[in-house]
Structure 1
Amino acid sequence: MERDSSFPADRADLPSGDDDGPAGVTVIVCSSCRDETGSDAHPRAGALLAEDTRRAASGEKINIRTVECLGNCKRRLSAALLRDGCWSYVFGDLDATSGTDLVTCAKLFATSTDGLIPWRGRPDSLKRGLVARIPPLDLLK
């Protein structure tokens, strides 16, 4: 897949906040996701979601990164939330304006004491859009 590096949200080297962020929370947005029409237009809807997430995280200490593909194409726009030593989350069925929801959820994750994103307070789009919850490696036997 060809990468359009002219669009700032499609560059993985542009953090939104401090590199460490609160409790090491990182939001990863799939920049190659297409919108519900399947359009191949650029910038892609995923790149627009990444930019919206960066705007929503402005002034916050949350890392925003992009990847070319999260492999969740049937669920359209996708993002993941990661925190070192904690469960990781993959969300789908997002739209190009879900950045605020991702940042709200990242803040909940940052303050979690058990390494899980609490259900209460999680935006509805991220309650409905949960694709997977992946355990940290140190929990596996």
Structure 2
Amino acid sequence: MDSNPAACETGQSGNRTSGTTIIVCISCRDASGSDAHPRAGEKLAEDARRAAAGQPVEVRTVECLGNCKRRLSASILHDGAWSYVFGDLAEDSGADLVTGACQLANAEDGKIPWRGRPDSLKRGLVARIPPLTLLKDQS
């Protein structure tokens, strides 16, 4: 985990981080499968909120991302960019998610760059989903 997320800045493409959202699954349990509350997903969401303080990144929660075999799960979305789903995260991966969100917002090609991406977001990649605008351009 990177304890100091990169500050969100305007990238070379002029993108701004507004519109960048981290979604955390709050129903995810820890590795033991315990039903104790707060659940591990709730702890990850709170860690992401702390890491995002002062950054133009929004942290939201959902009940389930459907990635239970690779819990803890979260996704990063940015308007007009690729969306990412991650699993195998830790309760203290919030700073990594914020770093990834900032990297996505500033990426000229709409993809989180591999270089500089936190290790947890390299190991934990579940899916990369193209933006609808890309698909509409192909029809």
Tell me by how many angstroms 1:23 deviates.
4.2
Indicate whether 1:90 and 2:77 are aligned: no
Match of 1:94, SS state, is coil
* TM-score (normalizing by structure 2): 0.84
Query: Which deviations, in whole Å up to 9, do the C-alpha atoms of 1:78-115 show, x marking residues without a partner?
Result: 00000111110000000100001101111111111111
Q: Which runs of 4+ in 1 moved over 6 A?
A: none
Q: Which of structures 1 and 2 has the larger relative contact order (alpha carbons within 8 angstroms, sep 6+)?
A: 2
* TM-score (normalizing by structure 1): 0.83
Matched residues, number: 121
Indicate whether 1:114 and 2:109 are aligned: yes
Match of 1:104, SS state, is helix
Q: CA separation in 2, counterparts of 1:137 and 1:56?
A: 29
Q: Is the 8 Å Cα contact of residues 48 and 94 (structure 2) preserved in structure 1? A: yes
Partner residue of 1:59? 54
Unaligned runs of 5+ in 1: 1-20
Q: Is the 8 Å Cα contact of residues 26 and 40 (structure 2) preserved in structure 1? A: yes
TM alignment of 1:1-141, pairs within 5 A: 22-140=17-135, 141=139
Q: CA separation in 1, counterparts of 2:18 and 2:40?
A: 29
Q: CA separation in 2, counterparts of 1:42 and 1:73?
A: 17
Q: Is the 8 Å Cα contact of residues 51 and 98 (structure 2) preserved in structure 1? A: yes
Query: Which deviations, in whole Å up to 9, do the C-alpha atoms of 1:5-50 show, x marking residues without a partner?
Result: xxxxxxxxxxxxxxxx714110000011000000000010000000
Q: Is the 8 Å Cα contact of residues 48 and 95 (structure 2) preserved in structure 1? A: yes
RMSD: 1.0
Partner residue of 1:9? none
Unaligned runs of 5+ in 2: 1-15
